[in-house]
Structure 1
Amino acid sequence: MFRITARTVLELGSELISSDIIAFYELIKNGFDARTKAGVDVKFDIVLTRRAFLRLKGTIHGKASLPDLKKLIKDELLPTASEAAYGSFVDLIDEATTKQELTEKLDQAQRRFNTITVTDTGSGMSLEDLDRSFLVIGTPSRKKEVEAALARGDKSTPYLGEKGIGRLSAMRLGERLLVETARSTDKKLNRLEIDWTEFSNVDAMLDQIAVAPTKGGKKPSAEWSGTALTISDLVENWTEARVRDMADYEFARLTDPFANATTRPRIAIFWNGERIGIPIMSGALLDAAHARVSGTYELIDGAPVLTCTFEALDLGFEHPRERQTVKLTEEDLQATIIGKDGPVEDSALRTIGPFSFEAHWYNRRRLGAIDTIGEQKAVRELQQKWSGILLFRDRFRVFPYGEDEDDWLELDRRALRRSGYTLNKTQFIGRVNISRIANPQLLDQTNREGLRETSEQYVLLEVLRYAVQDMLGKFMKDVERQYKHQKVDLSDAQAQVTKLEDRAKNAIRQLKRLTPSEGDDAIEELQQTLFEFSEFAARARQRIAEVEQESRQMIEMAGVGLMVEVVAHELARSSENALKALAHMKGRDVPDRLRSYFNTLQAEMKSVSKRVRVLDPMSVSGRQRSEVFALDEVIRDAIEAHHAQFKRHKIDVITDLTTRPLRIRAVKGMIVQIIENLISNSVYWLDMRAEREPSFKPKISISLESDPPVMMFEDNGRGIAPENRDQVFKMFFSLKDTRRRRGLGLYIAREAAMHNGGTLELDEERDPETGRLHKFVLELPAGAQV
């Protein structure tokens, strides 16, 4: 049987409550859980600040006389303190007859008459409640009621707190606690006094500390109910300036500042009898945002749906007010948030429950004066004050999200690597709303410093990062591109290609050193393919540099950059897989296994080499011109170039091409680009479905028609939601996971089709099995056919 030491209580209280505002939060929350009728009052009654007390205490044993010392002490007392506290403090000082006694009396007065009182007008507690609930650490009653509400499917939680240790947070503020409480049926107050210093005895057991409730004095009125927690022997220096600062910042963010002032939970702060205002969010400040995103995550018929609305209001150049809404269904969220090899299960997308969010973005340099706020400086200061994306549960703050030092959405870290708009956390004012009932798996850590690391917490973070970091930033860049004719930034893709190329070279060097003679041919094939690829990448880089000033050609070269990256990935993957397999081979069957593996490696290298040659028309120097070629032959070459990849992913390719060559006049490199992008996307999405459905058989179908030339490209993967039929062609729109997200492939493919006088569309016919769209249609003009 466990026995508990007395000091364990101190660990649960002051050691787990990391800041004063969290201590206040716990005590205030208890008032609302008691169904307070008039909110919660926090009253500071400070006669002598702690700093002044320590200074005066050091002067007592100096040369000054006792009367002079008493006068010196009284001069430091705050006349604004309550009459009772001020008078009692003075009376105790006057009782001293020696300097030693003055020291003792000053200590007593400081401990007893400087107080913080947290008051509510809730249900209150009876004498029995104090004994059986308040004095029971980890009391289960609220936990049981919350779990019952969850089981019933209630719309709101009966309590904000349920751990049963929030009351211990009082020790963070002071060494002594007086509880005065009563139910409406009680005739007198019920009283409980606790001296937390008694629990610091390292040898004492918890049951050796005598704490018991008693009957107190009269209630304020016969019908009154509520609780007053009076904390004394304060441990920190409380001043009016500090309390005003806390009211202006910490208390202002303790409950949802975006909420209507009439519905916001009432918290009143008093300093020595004077009410200190807690500011609310200025609607004019939110209206002054330069861009914003708002979103809802819902469960519709049990399936998750994320809806995000993006707005570009004023990005610093002339443009109309742009607005875009994106809706992601469960299939999209599995891909975007979890991905092909994510760390959590798909089920977390459902078990997280519904939530909502909004984030308002500001270009601080462009913030100007606002009539209802003031001049530019005042507006900037106000934006700085409210900056951060805060998390609220049932209208109350979840710490530390949104604090100055907290970057929970990694906005600052990502901003360092981002070109274009820098989405730093200080540029946002935002909130996220969750609830105990709707989001039962989003639980606080015991120390109230963030949510516990669960699969649902991962989903919450990834959804918010996707909406704020990726989609909002890309939406803003897309608006800029439309109205400022910005070029496509290829720096990320080019850096990735260099990294992949280096990985392949390193793997080949190690393979040559470790490989026995049986694998010489395969390694030679691998090295030759790397050489071909390096030449191809060099020509592509040269081509990009040549057309850097031409907008249309820059789009074309962005496609080249993406395709180079795809091939580089294949090359690095194959070479590293060979090295990994070699390192793990043991036993007598090594020669046979080596021979078999190197045969596979050779086949893969031939396939990659073929892809390099197929893609090479995209990278030739000089402006690309139209030429006559057979479209069916280009498709066959592309399929052959992907043979090893299709085999690896078990993809069946079905073609229905024309019996006679379908000759067209077009820019060959651009047509190759379209086909490559469609194949690349299909492989990814087919993999997504295959990973989640073991019996699934992936398939790609490509067919051709003539007069006019039309290519239909279809797969049986996850498909695209009808709502996103047009979105998928927009620049930077992507539903792939973070590591694979570019959002350029289909945009570039459509641009390439338009450049050749054609169209690339997503057919609006829904697949009867998935209810989603699966077929892309490339149509070239009738005049393109030769």
Structure 2
Amino acid sequence: MTNTVHKQIDQPFRPRARVLQLLGDELIGSARLAVFELVKNAYDADATNVNVRLDLVSSQKPSITIVDDGEGMTLDILQSVWLVPGDEHRQKQRESLTRSPMHGRLPLGEKGLGRFAVHKLGNRIKLVTRAQHSDECVVEIDWNKLIAKPFLDEAPVRITVRPPKVFTDNKTGTMIKVSQLRTNWTRGETRRLQNQITSICSPFEEPASFQAVLELPGLESWIEDLPDVREILNRAIWKFSFRLNNGEFEWTYEFRKIPGLKLDGRTIKKSADKLKLPPKTGDDSSEKDVVALKENLSGIGRLSGEFYVYDRDREVLRLLADVQLLTGYLDEVGGIRVYRDGIRVYNYGEPGDDWLGLDLRRVNIPTRRISRNIILGAVHLSLEESTGLIEKTNREGFVENDVCHELRRIVLGCLAALEEERQIDKGRIRRLTGKPEDPTSSKIEKPIEDLRRELDNQGISKRFAPYVEKIESDYRNMQETLLSAGMSGLNLAVVFHEVERGVRALHQVISKGTDLKAAARQAKDLMRLLDGFSVLLRKDSKQNHSARKLIETARRFNILRIRHHKVSLSCPILEGNAQGFNSRFAFSLVLGALGNLIDNSLYWLRVQWPDVQDSQSPTKRKLHIGLTSDLSEGPAIIVADNGTGFQDDPEYLTRPFFTRKPSGMGLGLYYANLAMELNGGQLLFPHPGEVNLPDQYDGAVVALVFK
């Protein structure tokens, strides 16, 4: 039997003429974005000035005209580039790092699709362009006639070559006039267009070589009362500027004096600092890269930025002038934008685009976190260096790859550095205005949900389900008890902090799938911790316990993490037969306090000594847990390390919600202090010499002092 072929045909694709209109409609989300794209094209054409003229009343036929003074196009460029969808002209320039002759720019466009933005604006297009030493070229397109043709190759576009009429003398550039507009340009839409045009260039780092202006003949009043961006920036209470290069973090924090408040401003400058990164998973206990290293900037390159932050508390707003103008502007354009080579990457920072999750992030810690409606910010990238960040074809930010995720993490780390200092001044403001520092209202659902999912993944949900249900039930009961006792604020937040910490630790043990007995033991200890919280309401459940046993239990709970992070642990009391001291205390609560101190040390050791690739090298991270009788206040358990140490006074360290960890709630040391006070002891921060520590422990030193 033979294979019979009747006919073979090589048939090329024949796009319908309407495909060009579809490109404009589907790739460009709005008429304002279409104008934005055409202005970007002018930047790529090496223009210095772009004029956007919106004629709505001066003629019977409303129109939009965009004129630039760039290099213009020759007949050959028109034919081989502008009229060729998807042409690689700009992409090749960028890949070869070929910069423009006048301003030395790399092209922003690379897909050859931005020009179809013009079809989003209207049905009739007239393009006039002139390159140096060339005649003018004119292209006119009637979109309705063009798409009436069945196929694209049956819809030719006529190009007229003529002596210069628009770009006379030695002028060059491009003019695009669009009529039969497809958008109803209302006052509100026009004001949003003005805000968008002013945001094309960074107001913080505006390139002197490029400027875009909107003209609205006959309707100037629509936009003349819009606030000047720089005037709004000058009214910010906080300013934070930063640079990150090769892992070195340089920043300046400025708190400006508020009119009517007897509170001095302050400025802090840091160079060669480490940028602490928020965890990828929501739990920093297992993260290796807690600070930004050179590797974290791969595909991103150097970056810098500015954050201007405002205060919308009623007590502060009443001290300010033109409050409605300020808050209205922040509601409309608040957020953090991204700029490459000084030109905006759309649509980061647009209303509805919370690309950093700022508003959600603020829910759990409203007194400390910054939301979109109190910040005007910009992040600046180098187009040449940020090769791993690829703009989406639909102009809605970068492709969601690993580099984009790392950029988001880095920017959040920079924001957290600002929040660290801001919380100090925010507290000073609140104390002066008499506003209490509201406690957080966190929820336990998320960590419990994560734990259940991990149990399912490991196939052990049946065995551990009773533990999880008991933990959740006990937490609910404790919540109701605290609420009924009128203690719904800070103490409830502390309960959540400790329960979440325990659930996360249990989740980590189970996810490793190595020791189910250890996991069961940890679940039971978490239930005992909840039982121990009754001390917050009843102060009669203390018993006599050994400090040695407390340290031994804490070491057992944390030894896997200590080894995972390559920390050298010293526990002298456990290396001999000495028993140490006994004291009366609630074991679970003080164990939680000691666990918090270990958590803090493990984090700050990673900040001070970032992870290196060579796992064979001896560890530089050192942790000491021991006993001392050298303090006059009483016998104590000492936790010391060679991490970064404390940079704040003790009064701040034990204040609720005060933290310098990007993902921290600021309750760890507060809880430790509260637990010790409830047991008749105290939390102290002695000098290493006071407790006779070896010289190698030159970081944080904390003492749990018993009576």
What TM-score, normalized to structure 2?
0.73
Query: Aligned partners of 2:320 and 2:469: how far apart in 1?
Result: 60
- Give how far 1:298 is off: 0.8
Give, in whole Å, the separation in 2 of the partners of 1:36 and 1:644: 60
Q: Deviations over 1:421-459 (max 9, x none)?
A: 795533443333334234333332112122221222223
Structure 1 residue 714: Cα displacement: 5.3
Amino acid at match of 1:702: I
Deviates more, 1:644-653 or 1:331-340: 644-653
* 394-403 or 382-391: bigger deviation: 382-391
Structure 1 residues 417 and 633: CA distance shift in structure 2, 3 A: closer
Match of 1:663 among 570, 575, 581: 581
1:453 correspondence with 2:400: yes
Which position in structure 1 is the counterpart of 2:50? 40
Whether the aligned pair in 2 keeps the contact of 1:303 and 1:350 (CA below 8 Å) is no
| Structure 2 unmatched ranges of 5 or more | 1-10, 690-695
Alpha-carbon deviation of 1:471?
6.6
> Is 1:745 aligned to 2:668, yes or no?
yes
Name which of 154, 160, 171 aligns with 1:208: 154
Match of 1:363 in 2: 312
3-state secondary structure, aligned to 1:443:
coil
CA shift digits 1:550-574 (9 cap, x unpaired): x9xx67x866654444345556777
Equivalent residue for 1:224, pick from 162, 166, 171: 171
Question: What are structure 1's unaligned runs of at least 5 residues?
Answer: 47-77, 82-109, 516-522, 582-596, 765-771
**Other structure's SS at 1:351 match:** coil
Judging changes above 3 Å, is the alpha-carbon distance between structure 1 residues 413 and 470 closer, same or farther for their aligned structure 2 residues?
Answer: farther
Distance across 2 between alignment mates of 1:359 and 1:246: 21
- Provide Cα deviations, 1:344-385, integer angstroms capped at 9, x if missing partner: 9984444322131414234175535867xxx55445444444
Distance 2:531 2:221 in 1: 75
> Cα RMSD between the aligned structures?
5.5
User: Matched residue of 1:160: which SS?
Assistant: coil
1:679 aligns with 2:595: no
Q: Which residue is 1:16 aligned to?
A: 27
Percent identity (aligned) = 23
Q: CA deviation at 1:609?
A: 4.6
CA 1:577–1:723 in structure 2 vs 1: closer, same or farther (change >3 Å)?
Answer: closer
Match of 1:492 among 442, 457, 461: 442
Task: Return the alpha-carbon distance in structure 1 between the equivalents of residues 468 and 74 of structure 2.
Answer: 83
- State which of 56, 78, 85 in structure 2 corresponds to 1:137: 85
Partner Cα separation in structure 1 for residue 240 and residue 233 of structure 2: 13
Question: In the alignment, what sits opposite 2:13?
Answer: 3
Residue 436 of structure 1: which of 383, 400, 422 is its match? 383
**Equivalences for 1:80-119 in 2 at 5 Å?**
80-81=58-59, 115-119=63-67
Whole-Å Cα distance in 2 between the matches of residues 644 and 457 of structure 1? 32
Corresponding letter in the other structure for 2:154: Q
1:760 to 668, 685, 688: 685
Q: CA deviation at 1:185?
A: 1.7
Determine which structure has the larger helix proportion and give its number.
Answer: 1
1:500 touches 1:572 (CA, 8 Å); kept in 2?
A: no
Bigger radius of gyration = 1
Is the CA contact 2:279–2:287 (under 8 Å) kept in the aligned structure 1? no
Judged with a 3 Å threshold, the aligned counterparts in structure 2 of structure 1 residues 722 and 379 are, in CA distance, closer, same or farther, namely closer
Between 390-399 and 664-673, the greater mean CA deviation after superposition: 664-673
Aligned-partner Cα distance in 2 for 1:387–1:44:
26
CA distance in 2 between partners of 1:316 and 1:501 (Å): 48
Q: Which residue of the partner structure matches residue 27 of structure 1?
A: 38
Can you list the C-alpha shifts for 1:154-211, whole angstroms capped at 9, x where unaligned? x97422323222222211222232222223323x32223333335425731x333323
Q: Does the aligned pair in 2 maintain the 1:116–1:231 contact within 8 Å?
A: yes
Task: Report the equivalent of 1:777.
Answer: 701
1:635 maps to 2:551? yes
2:308 touches 2:376 (CA, 8 Å); kept in 1? yes
SS at the partner of 1:170? Answer: helix
CA distance in 2, matches of 1:725, 1:2: 75
Distance 1:370 1:480 in 2: 14
**Structure-2 separation of matches of 1:323 and 1:180:** 53
CA contact (8 A) 2:238 2:308 kept: yes
Query: What is the letter of the counterpart of residue 638 of structure 1?
Result: A
Rate the CA distance shift 1:500–1:175 in 2: closer, same or farther, 3 A: closer
Q: TM-score, normalised by structure 1?
A: 0.66
Alignment of 1:305 onto 2:249: yes
Deviations 1:221-247 (A, max 9, x none): 3322222223334334457x5785355
1:678-731 alpha-carbon deviations (Å, 9 max, x no partner): 234456789998997765889854344443456554579xx4488799997775
Q: Is the 2:240–2:418 contact (alpha carbons within 8 Å) kept by the matching residues of 1? A: no
Q: How many residues align?
A: 660
User: Following the alignment from structure 2 to structure 1, what is the Cα–Cα distance between the partners of residues 138 and 450?
Assistant: 75
Does the residue aligned with 2:23 lie in a helix, a strand or coil?
Answer: helix
Q: Which amino acid aligns with 1:249?
A: N
Q: Tell me, yes or no, if the aligned pair for 1:269 and 1:276 is still in contact at 8 Å.
A: no
Structure 2 residue aligned with 1:180: 128
Q: Flag the 1:144–1:568 CA change in 2: closer, same or farther, 3 A.
A: closer
Q: Equivalents in 2 of 1:227, 1:151: separation in Å?
A: 20
Match of 1:88 in 2: none
Residue 352 (structure 1) aligns with: 300
Q: Deviations over 1:750-772 (max 9, x none)?
A: 677798466336979xxxxxxx9
Task: For 2:561 and 2:44, locate their aligned partners in 1 and report how far apart those are by CA, in whole Å.
Answer: 60
What is the distance in 2 between the residues matched to 1:648 and 1:385?
47
**Equivalent residue letter for 2:355:** W
2:201 is the alignment partner of 1:252: no
In structure 1, distance between residues paired with 2:222 and 2:46: 24
Of residues 408-417 and 681-690 in structure 1, the stretch that sits farther from structure 2 once superposed is: 681-690
Pair 548,634 (structure 1): closer, same or farther in 2 beyond 3 Å: same
Paired with 1:274 and 1:652, the residues of 2 have a C-alpha distance of: 69
